[in-house]
């Protein structure tokens, strides 16, 4: 059984079952095209940034009665509503989350005590690690070299925090970034 968690609440705990998911492999590259009269084709301008992605999730649920169906539908709507992007996690992608918000009007098909609907989550174009990678290095000699690596699939800028735990001032500190890969 497939499940997802949104705003720290699992679909399963809301009695919502996932029928299918559609997640893009890669987001669209943000581009502008300019057509020039008398020229075949067009010029493409891009800074290489990615557009948001849309993740479609088809869901269903069962209620005890028609009244219960409407009650559960309101509970589900309250859970899914958010002004801001929230964490969206899928059970088949452990360790990562998307920053997402429901972007569509959710139309529900009903048949007696069954409700079926499709969610469209508008998300940042990549998944984030649940656990931050923290690397600590003690600099006790000069010069000293250490490596900070990015295990992700998108370029990430490291955050370096330098703390002097000694009682003497640190002079002539030089940080050099080498082997940057795009």
- As a whole-number percent, the residues of the chain with pLDDT over 90 amount to 59
Torsion sign, CA atoms 5, 20, 100, 62: negative
Nearest alpha-carbon partner for 130 in 77, 172, 90, 71: 90
Return the residue matching tokens 């009695």: 15
Whether 78 maps to a domain, the answer reads yes
Q: Domain containing 90 — which CATH number?
A: 2.40.30.200
Residue 101 lies in a domain: yes
On whether residue 65 sits in a domain, the answer given is: yes
Residues above pLDDT 70, as percent of the chain? 97
Does 152 fall in a domain?
no
Predicted confidence (pLDDT) at residue 105 exceeds the cutoff of 90: yes
For strands 114-123 and 29-35, give the pairing.
unpaired
User: Is the pLDDT score of 68 beyond 90?
Assistant: yes
pLDDT value of residue 156: 74
Q: What is the pLDDT of residue 180?
A: 61
Does 164 map to a domain?
no
Give the range of the structural domain holding residue 110, as residue numbers without chain letter. 4-129
- 4-33: pLDDT as tens digits: 999 999 999 999 999 999 999 999 999 999
Please report whether residue 74 resides in a domain: yes
Structural domain total, the chain: 1
Token pair, residue 141, equals 């000699």
Residue 182 confidence (pLDDT): 54
DSSP classification of residue 182: -
Does 161 fall in a domain?
no
Q: Report the pLDDT value the prediction gives residue 161, as an integer from 0 to 100.
A: 80
176: pLDDT strictly greater than 80: no
In a domain? residue 147: no
């Amino acid at each position: 059984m497939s499940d997802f968690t949104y705003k720290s609440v699992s679909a399963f705990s809301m009695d919502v079952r996932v029928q299918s998911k559609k997640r893009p492999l890669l987001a669209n590259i943000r581009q502008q095209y300019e057509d020039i009269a008398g020229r075949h084709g067009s010029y493409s301008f891009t800074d290489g940034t990615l557009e948001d992605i849309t993740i479609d999730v088809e869901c269903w649920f069962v209620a005890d009665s028609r009244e219960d169906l409407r009650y559960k539908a309101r509970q589900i709507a309250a859970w899914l509503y958010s002004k801001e992007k929230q964490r969206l996690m899928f059970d088949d992608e452990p360790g990562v989350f998307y920053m997402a918000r429901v972007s569509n009007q959710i139309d529900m098909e009903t048949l007696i005590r069954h409700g079926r609907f499709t969610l469209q989550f508008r998300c940042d174009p990549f998944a984030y690690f649940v656990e931050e990678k923290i690397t600590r290095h003690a600099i006790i000699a000069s010069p000293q070299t250490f490596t900070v690596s990015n295990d992700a699939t998108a370029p990430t800028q490291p955050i370096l925090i330098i703390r002097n735990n000694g009682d003497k001032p640190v002079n002539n500190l030089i940080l050099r970034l080498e082997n940057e890969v795009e």
